[in-house]
Structure 1
Amino acid sequence: MNTFPTLANEYWQGWDAGCKLATEQLGLKYIAQTFEDSVDKQISQIEQAPSLGVNAVVTFAQNAEVMKALAATASQVGIKLANAHSTAAWLDADDPAYAGSYLLYSQPDNIRGTAAMAQALFDKIGNEGKVLYVGGLPGNFSADSRAAGVKLALKNNPKIELVAEQPGGENRVAARPVVENLLTAHPDVAAIVSYNDDTAIAVLDVLRERGLSGSIVTAGIDATREMLNRVREDKSALGTVSINAPFMTGYSVVTLYDALEGIAYDPLEKMRYFDSIFLDSPEAAEKYLSAMDQGGRIDFDFKGMSRHLNGDNWKIQWGMEVIDPSNFWGQIESMQSLKPSGWALPESVEASLKAGNADKLNKMYRDHFVPGPLSDVAGMTRSKKTVLGF
């Protein structure tokens, strides 16, 4: 089962499409349910999963703290769980409290991805000048980690001056008045770093209405069709970061399937970064659009990624790395104050880290990587590679 916020959003349509494709390739029954931003409904869907014949669930934790309830519920009803993007602070997926039910937490490396996007904007304006940052909602882990990415890029560009930053509410309706007010107060900026594509589109609309298209640049995150088309057509739209929802959910299905078929994962594999790519040229945007159908599907070979079906010949078509949980939350200022007294990693995870398995696993992923449906896209970007360097 795939339980997620809504289908009335392009990102979640791709999320659904990737999950559905993986189940089709693996010959599994697929049920999609939306919880419309209701935490109670999300928990209830997992509670009721066994009654629908479901033994594994892919989800997006509606907020960070609900992840504990979702994992506990999955453990209680005897199902396996994969979650992406949002997890409770200082919660390792291999926590013994959940008896092996929480099999995978995945997310893009928001710090590196946002830093790459911001660096491209800074390069575009000659690595000096004034910039704005229209961010996400403070306290949200994705928002705070993307803000950390912006700070990293600023640290590497001492001649760039961040003159103002303000939360933009994560959608274009909320972001628009923020953008208008910031531009009125700071008309001499050269670039605006945007939290996501909806924020970037609000920026682009305001720039066009004020006759500033081409004189100020911005970029976003999500690789929505609308933003990709703006990158093709609008001189102020430098690019957008694809965090690749179809792969994220499809590979989550593969992970759950392999586990149910007896594949054992290293404890560190239960928390992973999945790759992202900054699409910063009209050619890259065009190629990405052509690789994605109208439903958001991208034709990855998920069956070929299964360790159960392919033995040692399994192959991945999108980059990944394990997350080192010993410093994962510590990189984010807002997370540091939430660290529980006496916090320690699960013994299994600590032992794997001490054995040097993080480097071994990351090498394994690179050894099993083969070109996929988006590999040509990477070659059309200015960096010629993905954020994780695949």
Structure 2
Amino acid sequence: MRIQRWLVLVLAVALLALLAACSGQMAPTQEGGAAPAQQEAAPAQEEAAPASQEEAAPAATSNLMCIIVPPVENPFFGAMQDIAAAKAEELGYETLKLVHDDDANKQLELIETCIARGAAAIILDNAGADATVAAVQRAKDAGIPSFLVDREITQEGVAVAQIVSNNYQGATLVAEYFAELMGEEGKYAELTGRDTDTNAHIRSQGYHDVLDEFPDMEMVAQQTANWSQDEAFGVMENILQAHPDIKGVISGNDTMALGAQAALLAAGRDDVIVVGFDGSDDAIQSIMAGELDATALQPVAEMATQAVIQADQYLKTGSTGKPEKQSIDMVLITPKNACNYKLFAPVPNPVEDCTAQ
């Protein structure tokens, strides 16, 4: 019996040793088996790294369209933003309406906000032809396409589209009518827009390419009012004091024209010819009231709508199907046709002569 018990004990010890040996052999196998799996996973993680970097700079990851414009106190820019936002929402986008106040630094901050929110696209009326290039490039580098309206920038290939009015053509229309109203003679003043705005220079060039052909027309003052109605009022007061015999004023936009007109009316000079540029509802109402004499209508509704439509097409297909630079002709607005336009677009059922109403 003792021998049997001893044999059982020996067998038990041997069995335990065997089990321990097996366990020791299996542990390295499990560790060794895990290592190849980890080594194989490493390349996959390396391949995934670029995707993570792309996610760090959000690019068209949302359904958001940013619409950034100059001060909306100017009805031109307010209408542009509202029309663009309405079209974007009609196409199913969320919209973020922002205002840069013609401040290039603020514009950059707003574009950075759009980048951070992973906007699908940016619709922009910019804050400076030169200063805007870097900001739009920043958006492009983040994978967010920009579609410019109204104002061009000084570099191509950064924005997807630059859709503008044919400012030169519109300026020549206004200048020709202005010269006709002036009888091709007399002293006049020019109010110009912001010096950083390409459109200000294009319009002024268009004016002078026409007016300089009339030797009896004399420009006695040329001064910026920075697109501002209040500033134009003060500038016009000073010009009127220096040149009380002035016969006409040609302005780079409607807002300045309205400011100049207000100063002239306050001085009792309703005989001075004043023309603007933009075709805002305020200017049209002034023309119909017999105050302003003319303006040129910028097709804001068409520009804003086209920018959104092209952004939508680009996001869906990778192409707008159009060149980057696109120009739309303008329309001369006079007392005869002023009632046929509203919100920078033709109204239904136009009449032949608004003065006959």
Q: Kindly state the Cα deviation for residue 196 of structure 1 after the two structures are TM-superposed.
A: 1.5
Return the alpha-carbon distance in structure 1 between the equivalents of residues 129 and 105 of structure 2. 14
Contact 2:276–2:295 (8 Å) recurs in 1: yes
TM-score normalised per structure 1: 0.67
Return the alpha-carbon distance in structure 1 between the equivalents of residues 351 and 135 of structure 2. 36
Q: Kindly state the Cα deviation for residue 129 of structure 1 after the two structures are TM-superposed.
A: 2.3
1:15 matches 2:71: no
> Size of the alignment, in residue pairs?
290
Amino acid corresponding to residue 207 of structure 2 in structure 1: V
Q: 1:22 to 1:74 in 2, by over 3 A?
A: same
1:284 matches 2:349: no
Which residue, 231, 236, 239 being the options, matches 2:287?
Answer: 231
Return the alpha-carbon distance in structure 2 between the equivalents of residues 166 and 9 of structure 1. 20
Q: Kindly state the Cα deviation for residue 35 of structure 1 after the two structures are TM-superposed.
A: 3.3
1:249 matches 2:310: no
5 Å matches for 1:151-162? 151-162=208-219
Q: 1:24 to 1:378 in 2, by over 3 A?
A: farther
Contact 1:67–1:87 (8 Å) recurs in 2: no
Counterpart secondary structure, 1:221: coil
Q: 1:132 to 1:284 in 2, by over 3 A?
A: same
Q: 1:376 to 1:161 in 2, by over 3 A?
A: farther
Q: Kindly state the Cα deviation for residue 123 of structure 1 after the two structures are TM-superposed.
A: 0.6
Q: Kindly state the Cα deviation for residue 378 of structure 1 after the two structures are TM-superposed.
A: 10
Q: 1:39 to 1:188 in 2, by over 3 A?
A: closer
Return the alpha-carbon distance in structure 2 between the equivalents of residues 379 and 254 of structure 1. 32
Which residue, 125, 135, 141 being the options, matches 1:60?
Answer: 125
Q: Kindly state the Cα deviation for residue 148 of structure 1 after the two structures are TM-superposed.
A: 0.5
Amino acid corresponding to residue 130 of structure 1 in structure 2: K
Counterpart secondary structure, 1:188: coil
Name the structure 2 match of 1:132. Answer: 189
Runs of 5+ in structure 1 lacking a partner? 299-372, 383-390
In the TM superposition, structure 1's runs of 4+ consecutive aligned residues that sit over 4 Å from their partners are: 373-382
Identity over aligned pairs, percent: 20
Contact 1:116–1:153 (8 Å) recurs in 2: no
Name the structure 1 match of 2:178. Answer: 121
1:110 matches 2:167: yes
Name the structure 1 match of 2:252. Answer: 195
Q: 1:201 to 1:7 in 2, by over 3 A?
A: closer
Contact 1:280–1:381 (8 Å) recurs in 2: no
Contact 1:47–1:77 (8 Å) recurs in 2: no
Return the alpha-carbon distance in structure 2 between the equivalents of residues 137 and 56 of structure 1. 27
Write the deviation string for residues 10-67 of structure 1: whole angstroms up to 9, x where unpaired: 2222011210232233233323223344434432333343554521110122112232
Name the structure 2 match of 1:258. Answer: 313
1:221 matches 2:274: no
Name the structure 2 match of 1:72. Answer: 137
Name the structure 2 match of 1:147. Answer: 204
Q: Kindly state the Cα deviation for residue 233 of structure 1 after the two structures are TM-superposed.
A: 0.9
Q: Kindly state the Cα deviation for residue 252 of structure 1 after the two structures are TM-superposed.
A: 0.4
Q: 1:201 to 1:36 in 2, by over 3 A?
A: closer
Q: 1:181 to 1:287 in 2, by over 3 A?
A: same
Contact 2:253–2:277 (8 Å) recurs in 1: yes
More helix by share: 2
Q: Kindly state the Cα deviation for residue 168 of structure 1 after the two structures are TM-superposed.
A: 2.5
**C-alpha RMSD of matched pairs (Å):** 2.7
5 Å matches for 1:320-335? none
Runs of 5+ in structure 2 lacking a partner? 1-65
Instruction: Between 8-17 and 21-30, report the one with greater CA deviation.
Output: 21-30
Return the alpha-carbon distance in structure 1 between the equivalents of residues 349 and 168 of structure 2. 24
TM-score normalised per structure 2: 0.72
Q: Kindly state the Cα deviation for residue 104 of structure 1 after the two structures are TM-superposed.
A: 0.6
Q: 1:162 to 1:198 in 2, by over 3 A?
A: same
Q: 1:195 to 1:6 in 2, by over 3 A?
A: closer
Write the deviation string for residues 286-306 of structure 1: whole angstroms up to 9, x where unpaired: 2213xx3xxx8x6xxxxxxxx
1:269 matches 2:308: no
Comparing both chains, which one has the higher relative contact order based on Cα–Cα distances under 8 Å and sequence gaps of 6 or more?
1
Contact 1:18–1:246 (8 Å) recurs in 2: yes
Name the structure 1 match of 2:224. Answer: 167
Q: 1:221 to 1:122 in 2, by over 3 A?
A: same
